[in-house]
Structure 1
């Protein structure tokens, strides 16, 4: 059973914010002293939470009640919609006829017969040439025809909530992905060809990989060590840890130019990830690039929270994280304002901090940059599939028992969003083709997951995702509601075209809630690959546009049509913008007193 102190401090308010709730300085009301979270008047609330926590452990943290509700909503409304039933019957008939025609033409020897169905742009399971041969071509087309029908069946239906419709569609994609012919040796031409060519050695090697992976899963051992090492190959930009508390280490990077821009850059990464996503190998390191362009750079490296840190709140991450880091930077580089930069959730907490600073008359920011960061969560991508009242309650109860959200839980959620590629295709490569996972800086970082404190994650899910309080003007800090419109510094906003975690149109919404001078860049790639896009990367492109302070709002589709893509990386455009919003070059400042060499010790915590 969880420690009573942990239980008491993981409360999250589920009600609309009352005036009392608004005074506690967090996105939800604090628990009554001495009461377990969610207890209220119910004397056996802890027993209920223990039961739900146990069930959550068996379901991987997924709420079966949300699943049943979604299927019930969809099925009952479909049963009462004869028009949609006729439409789906017509779709099934049309797909069957298309398949039959294709089969007849291919059976008659027409190798150039056009396939009636094509995989989705991100689906790479059928790229092997052998899929064009019979009978594999028919297996592929049959699978895609079924997928097409379910896409129509789970399209939004009048009377069904959009969340339930999307959730049913997501669950059916998971089922179809498991049943794909690409997953099985007898129906995958690449596996068959490889088995013949290697006389079965691929299956023997795959069996060895499977046995090793199963043993690690059963024993809880860590995965195979990457050939890339943090501090040697990754996160290796020279620097020093110059400040540390229980929540973060602050790294100051060593200058490489005689002159630097007077205003330093402070990077606030998301606590959901290790900071070195921005300091991968030297050729992929945004931090190294910034230093080389003549900027004094500081970066926060968050601690990986333990069970005894379950009480850490969103307010702690703002006050003891962002604000304490800013205090340290302005002490080390006195008399200068700071270019604050936030990535993902780091950008969200930076926006909260910046709005609070603006309200309080704190003018230490020279500018604010947000990478793939959202301030409005009404269109927050596929993560919304995992957020409703029942699901959040399940996660809260699981965290109540542990004190944190385990790193594997969040990693599993992200893998499920792209199961066809990150789960099934990987299994085929490893267990049937006998190929080792390719090691890269990004895959190494991706496997280096972090935990999240119970209270903070509950407040984040409820206050931001579930109730969207920040953009709705219902998010209180230190007893008063803050407003994003108060932020008056210039803003550089970056979205990425294929982001399914922070969709670019959701990132773009900052333009709705703030009227200061704003530059928006839309980069090619996804949530991570679009941000880590150094100069010289093949096929990279971006769009960029400037909105003067006070200008009228422009809808995202209109903005997209009005701004042509430019080849290359957006990094130089951003550093040019930072230079334009700086006061000029000065001699490189001295390094602060060192507590440890970069990357410090927090990034190595597991």
Structure 2
């Protein structure tokens, strides 16, 4: 025994410990590669207070559960839980069937997983023993969810992180390499796997997230008490549905510090208000500008505040700006389809512009699905000899849905049929459903970080105008939404020349006016490639422009911010990849480039026009009343 102790002190001995590692052990720093001091922030110092706060948190969680269950027990909310779960199980079972059908494939999948797990386990043991210092350092973690340094520094959390990455990659590999799947099923399976892995990330749980664990210990669980209280409040705010808080909504009010560009509502139909904005220049372009926003969201994304407002900027450049503000539909609008939205929306607005200005030619802008509707309206106008729109600009607009991205996951005959059945009961699709679908496209950025910060950290969100607008969702009229899903996402009828409106079969080749087609490079809703492919469908000249950032930030990018960039490369021919590879990059906003394009087609100016002119009286001040209706 004495000899054993002497050998341990003076030489490496059979366990291979160097004298340096033994000195480190005696000095209290443990094996090289792991410092016991790293455990200190995770040790509970006041278990009694922690236990009390956990009990209070559970009480608040019970209140949240009661708030969620109440309207369901009363029959006010009927959750078709079985349908999405059935879709998920059915899709994933096809992947499982492929790998389980052949014992050789099953062994191959298991072997790949176990080899990765054993390699990770070996690295972890090396860290605990101190021998990991001989290995090259790991590259920096690029995933923002694992930004805390203890995800690499602490062996326990490092093990969890590596295990999660291995399992996530393995699950994606099973989907990608499963043979015999049609493309739609593979697309759905890959999407569902991303949703599952995003939800099961160790960053989403208190005991597996180092930052959450430390904060819980440091606050004795007070963060969980507040977080569960916030959860109950958010379910109550959603009247039984979880309305995930992304921002401090108390700091914003439409018409007070958002959507404040001066203007007047000068016309109103059953489905829209038409706003004309006050001029800020002595002369204006002869052609007025009509903006057709999406009805899936509210128009004031283009008028968030004076610093970010595209509308205000257009006014300052000498445009006479008109904007359609869509109604937030309810059961009265159940039968309002695309014909109604064209005749009572776009055509009604064109009539209003002509009455207010006397002009029969306008420049038009369509944003997202508003642009898709506008493209269909232009094809219809071409057959009706309606030439009032002289040029058109599309913001992140798809007219071909071949490469429409992850939203296609939700579109097939079975899912649309189920959705239509639910819409028949109310006459509309609740806005929260579409908002949830959009958030799921980027769940790791738009769902789980806010879930963690609000309900596990107990942190109040920061005020952010863009996220306030994002939460201000709208309903979709049943006929409108059904027509959109079937004719665009499901059957691609507009692209294929099969869409029928007002007794006409539409062809985008009939649209021969100049087109400015803006896409954004990181768009998850209208992918840049999808927008590019759609450019070839028009019968006139198309200027395709690619902006940096995504569906919103790539559009709402004022020049004075000097953010992002845009790319140009002439006519969009060939493949998107080749066009992008040879495109010319320009720093900053695309807004001045667009304005120069407008003026290149007609730069004639006239004296500034007041809202309504001499023909129409103001109904109300901008932003009107339709935009104020909240879900």
Same fold (TM over 0.5): yes
Deviations 1:562-594 (A, max 9, x none): 113222111111112112122322211232021
Name the stretch that deviates more: 425-434 or 126-135: 126-135
Look up the match of 1:450. Answer: 474
Name the stretch that deviates more: 361-370 or 81-90: 81-90
Look up the match of 2:65. Answer: none
Look up the match of 1:478. Answer: 502
Q: Does 2:144 match 1:124? A: yes
Q: How many angstroms apart in 2 are the aligned matches of 1:89 and 1:344?
A: 44
Displacement after TM superposition at 1:173 (Å): 2.1
Look up the match of 2:117. Answer: 96
Note closer, same or farther for the CA distance 1:238–1:196 as it changes in structure 2 (3 Å cut). Answer: same
Partner secondary structure for residue 215 of structure 2: helix
Q: Which runs of 4+ in 1 moved over 6 A?
A: 220-224
Deviations 1:187-229 (A, max 9, x none): 1111123334445443333233233224434556987743111
| Unaligned segments of structure 1, at least 5 residues | 1-53
Is the 2:353–2:359 contact (alpha carbons within 8 Å) kept by the matching residues of 1?
Answer: no
Displacement after TM superposition at 1:101 (Å): 4.9
Look up the match of 2:50. Answer: none
Q: Does 2:357 match 1:337? A: no
Q: How many angstroms apart in 2 are the aligned matches of 1:529 and 1:174?
A: 24
Note closer, same or farther for the CA distance 1:582–1:60 as it changes in structure 2 (3 Å cut). Answer: farther
Q: Does 2:438 match 1:430? A: no
Is the 1:262–1:336 contact (alpha carbons within 8 Å) kept by the matching residues of 2?
Answer: no
Look up the match of 2:79. Answer: 58
Look up the match of 1:543. Answer: 567
Q: How many angstroms apart in 2 are the aligned matches of 1:597 and 1:374?
A: 33
What's the C-alpha RMSD, in Å, of the aligned pairs?
A: 2.5
| Unaligned segments of structure 2, at least 5 residues | 1-74
Is the 2:508–2:539 contact (alpha carbons within 8 Å) kept by the matching residues of 1?
Answer: no
Look up the match of 1:180. Answer: 201
Q: Does 2:582 match 1:562? A: yes
Q: Does 2:599 match 1:575? A: no
Is the 1:156–1:162 contact (alpha carbons within 8 Å) kept by the matching residues of 2?
Answer: no
Is the 2:123–2:132 contact (alpha carbons within 8 Å) kept by the matching residues of 1?
Answer: no
Q: Does 2:171 match 1:150? A: yes
Q: How many angstroms apart in 1 are the aligned matches of 2:384 and 2:239?
A: 52
Note closer, same or farther for the CA distance 1:558–1:435 as it changes in structure 2 (3 Å cut). Answer: same
Match for residue 70 of structure 1 among 91, 104, 112: 91
Partner secondary structure for residue 502 of structure 1: coil
Look up the match of 1:300. Answer: 324
Displacement after TM superposition at 1:97 (Å): 4.7
Displacement after TM superposition at 1:136 (Å): 1.3
Deviations 1:500-544 (A, max 9, x none): 111110111122212421111111112112111122436511112
Match for residue 209 of structure 1 among 230, 233, 236: 230
Q: How many angstroms apart in 1 are the aligned matches of 2:265 and 2:553?
A: 27
Q: Map of 1:212-227 to 2, 5 A cutoff?
A: 212-217=233-238, 225-227=249-251
Deviations 1:458-496 (A, max 9, x none): 111112111111111111122221110111111111111
Note closer, same or farther for the CA distance 1:191–1:71 as it changes in structure 2 (3 Å cut). Answer: closer
Displacement after TM superposition at 1:128 (Å): 2.2
Q: How many angstroms apart in 2 are the aligned matches of 1:103 and 1:521?
A: 49
Q: Does 2:608 match 1:588? A: yes
Note closer, same or farther for the CA distance 1:327–1:219 as it changes in structure 2 (3 Å cut). Answer: same
Is the 2:328–2:629 contact (alpha carbons within 8 Å) kept by the matching residues of 1?
Answer: yes
Q: How many angstroms apart in 2 are the aligned matches of 1:94 and 1:118?
A: 22
Q: How many angstroms apart in 2 are the aligned matches of 1:418 and 1:590?
A: 43
Q: How many angstroms apart in 1 are the aligned matches of 2:562 and 2:286?
A: 33
Q: Which has the higher contact order (CA 8 A, sep 6+)?
A: 1
Partner secondary structure for residue 485 of structure 1: helix
Note closer, same or farther for the CA distance 1:218–1:265 as it changes in structure 2 (3 Å cut). Answer: closer
Look up the match of 2:436. Answer: 412
Deviations 1:73-93 (A, max 9, x none): 333334456776565345424
Look up the match of 1:242. Answer: 266
Q: Does 2:194 match 1:170? A: no
Partner secondary structure for residue 267 of structure 1: strand
Look up the match of 2:302. Answer: 278
Q: Does 2:349 match 1:349? A: no
Deviations 1:166-196 (A, max 9, x none): 2122222222222211111111111123334
Is the 1:61–1:395 contact (alpha carbons within 8 Å) kept by the matching residues of 2?
Answer: no
Is the 1:271–1:345 contact (alpha carbons within 8 Å) kept by the matching residues of 2?
Answer: yes
Q: Map of 1:354-365 to 2, 5 A cutoff?
A: 354-365=378-389
Name the stretch that deviates more: 212-221 or 92-101: 212-221
Q: How many angstroms apart in 2 are the aligned matches of 1:506 and 1:57?
A: 36
Displacement after TM superposition at 1:396 (Å): 0.4
Q: Does 2:529 match 1:505? A: yes
Q: How many angstroms apart in 1 are the aligned matches of 2:225 and 2:369?
A: 43
Is the 1:117–1:145 contact (alpha carbons within 8 Å) kept by the matching residues of 2?
Answer: no
Match for residue 313 of structure 2 among 289, 302, 306: 289
Look up the match of 1:489. Answer: 513
Q: Structure 1 length as normaliser, TM-score?
A: 0.85
Q: How many angstroms apart in 2 are the aligned matches of 1:357 and 1:481?
A: 12
Match for residue 288 of structure 2 among 248, 254, 264: 264
Note closer, same or farther for the CA distance 1:137–1:568 as it changes in structure 2 (3 Å cut). Answer: same
Note closer, same or farther for the CA distance 1:571–1:555 as it changes in structure 2 (3 Å cut). Answer: same
Partner secondary structure for residue 250 of structure 2: coil
